[in-house]
Amino acid sequence: MSNIKVTPLYEGTFSVGLDKNFKRISRDDPPNKGALKLAINPFLIQDGEKNILFDVGLGDLLGENSSIDTILENLESKGVEDFEISDIFASHLHFDHIGGLANRKNGYWDLTFPDAKVWISKNGWRKLRSIIEKEDDDVRDFFNFIDSHADLNFLNDEENQIDHVRTKRIGGHTEFHQVLFYENGDDRYLMAGDILGRRSAINRSFEAKYDFDPKQSVKARSELQELAYKEGYAIMTYHEPINPIFKLTGFDKKKGYTIENVS
């Protein structure tokens, strides 16, 4: 029996408008008019040797309805302390995916996971550095703190830097967007950030106006679904409010893929 445990660390569901402020709503509520409905699910992978995070949630960076306590309490419920997180992989560098890297719980910036290696796109970080002055003071301070204090490890377009985890640049939602793979025997998972952010993205071909390259998102979304189906990957959906991990267990030319939840 596999000793691999993969757990979504659900932080809540939010209505997110153009102001990028995350306003908490219930899982079943519709978003506010003109806003998006986004759940937040960092994923914890426990494989006996390492405690790995795929994306790290909001932290306390994006609005009064988020708190670093959420991810810490979720981890504690799984028997994991902050210093036991060994590696963090970021699908991309939007702050709802990396905000949990640091926090101001004690009134000053501090690393949330002090012993973790942080694996991020080299070119993505370089681009973020080039535009960070356009952000507000809190976001700039957050970036500069992470840039100076975190154990940053930079990834190229395709990497396999630690056992069982590999990354591949797919672009689309952001220029240097990555898909994150965990592959350990029969345990196969992929997490593609906002490219496959919700289960409603399955069996749909759509161009999102908020993507860096909408056509590339469509292409990557289709390719990842085919890969997941043919090679048995479970898909981890970062923004899905309910049942964020599932497999594609069948295919019909008219109806598309059959979705089966993974508990």
178: tokens are 């990555």
Q: What is the pLDDT of residue 63?
A: 66
Residues 70-102: pLDDT tens digits?
999 999 999 999 999 999 999 999 999 999 999
Q: What is the pLDDT of residue 212?
A: 97
Predicted confidence (pLDDT) at residue 1 exceeds the cutoff of 60: no
Q: Please give the model's pTM, rounded to 2 decimal places.
A: 0.96
User: Distance between the two ends of the chain, CA-based, in angstroms?
Assistant: 16
3-state secondary structure of 167: strand
Give me the domains of the chain, ranges plus CATH numbers.
5-261 (3.60.15.10)
Residues 42-70: pLDDT tens digits?
999 999 889 999 999 999 887 677 899 99
Residues 102-158: pLDDT tens digits?
999 999 999 999 999 999 999 999 999 999 999 889 999 999 999 999 999 999 999
CA distance 30 to 59: 23
Predicted confidence (pLDDT) at residue 224 exceeds the cutoff of 80: yes
Question: Are 127 and 121 spatial neighbours (Cβ–Cβ below 8 Å)?
Answer: no
DSSP bridge partners of 88: 53, 118
Average pLDDT, the chain: 95
Predicted confidence (pLDDT) at residue 37 exceeds the cutoff of 80: yes
Q: What is the pLDDT of residue 179?
A: 98
Q: What is the pLDDT of residue 18?
A: 80
CA distance 126 to 6: 31
User: DSSP string covering 98-146, please?
Assistant: HGGGEE-TTSS-EESSTT-EEEEEHHHHHHHHHHGGGS-HHHHHHHHHH
Across 14-30, average pLDDT: 88
With a CB cutoff of 8 Å and minimum separation 6, the contacts of 260 are 246, 247, 248, 249
